[in-house]
Structure 1
């Protein structure tokens, strides 16, 4: 079973996400919206297959990273989230919450040994860039 296939996103807490988006847009040229920036790319083994990686500044008081106390979270792309979550449970990995499904993919969460929350994302079959 393939587990992680790439980085799906980087999320971090800050005092003022709008100001942070503006700064990164102005100084580093990130194509920011109110949700951050999305970077489109193509699979190196199948150039017809599109993908994206998300970058998002989030409000410092967000509870999205809970139960982790860390100010960041990394999202990893996976191929079969339900199977991977069951495998991780069997391996003794702490799973946080239940799998959630949206039009933009399926999401699950785990904690690493130091309490960092990790988001696992199974993108939809056809990603919209």
Structure 2
């Protein structure tokens, strides 16, 4: 199997007021925020343009369930379908079904500490406008 995780796709966390949090990061740290948070652009080892998403979620979000944590990591992966099969064979808990969008495929797992992990096979070019 090829590489599993190729980078960090996103850092998601809960906050009481997502708009105020995004505004604070924009004002004090220069984040270029929008409705979804902030996208950071970088290049991988092959020189391909890649993105990492920073997003503040409302504290009442159900998106991280069944995890009880206030954060969720998103990892960039290669060949998500194959990786999910391998992880299932290894006894890793898979959450829900893989979903496909214009910007990539998503799958979810639980780690050994009860953290929900989002796995993303990205299509970075979908974000370039």
TMscore range, shorter length: over 0.9
Q: Report if aligned partners of 1:10, 1:74 keep a CA contact under 8 Å in 2.
A: yes
TM-score by length of 2: 0.95
Q: Report if aligned partners of 1:50, 1:127 keep a CA contact under 8 Å in 2.
A: no
Q: Which runs of 5+ in 2 are unaligned?
A: none
Q: 3-state SS of the aligned residue for 2:57? A: strand
Partner of 2:41: 40
Give the count of matched residue pairs: 127
Q: Once superposed, which parts of structure 1, at least 4 consecutive aligned residues long, lie more than 4 Å away? A: none
What is the Cα-based RMSD across aligned positions, in Å? 1.1
Q: Which runs of 5+ in 1 are unaligned?
A: none
Q: 3-state SS of the aligned residue for 1:26? A: helix
Distance, in Å, in 1 between the alignment partners of 2:127 and 2:37 is: 16
TM-score by length of 1: 0.95
Distance, in Å, in 1 between the alignment partners of 2:37 and 2:55 is: 4
Distance, in Å, in 2 between the alignment partners of 1:42 and 1:115 is: 31
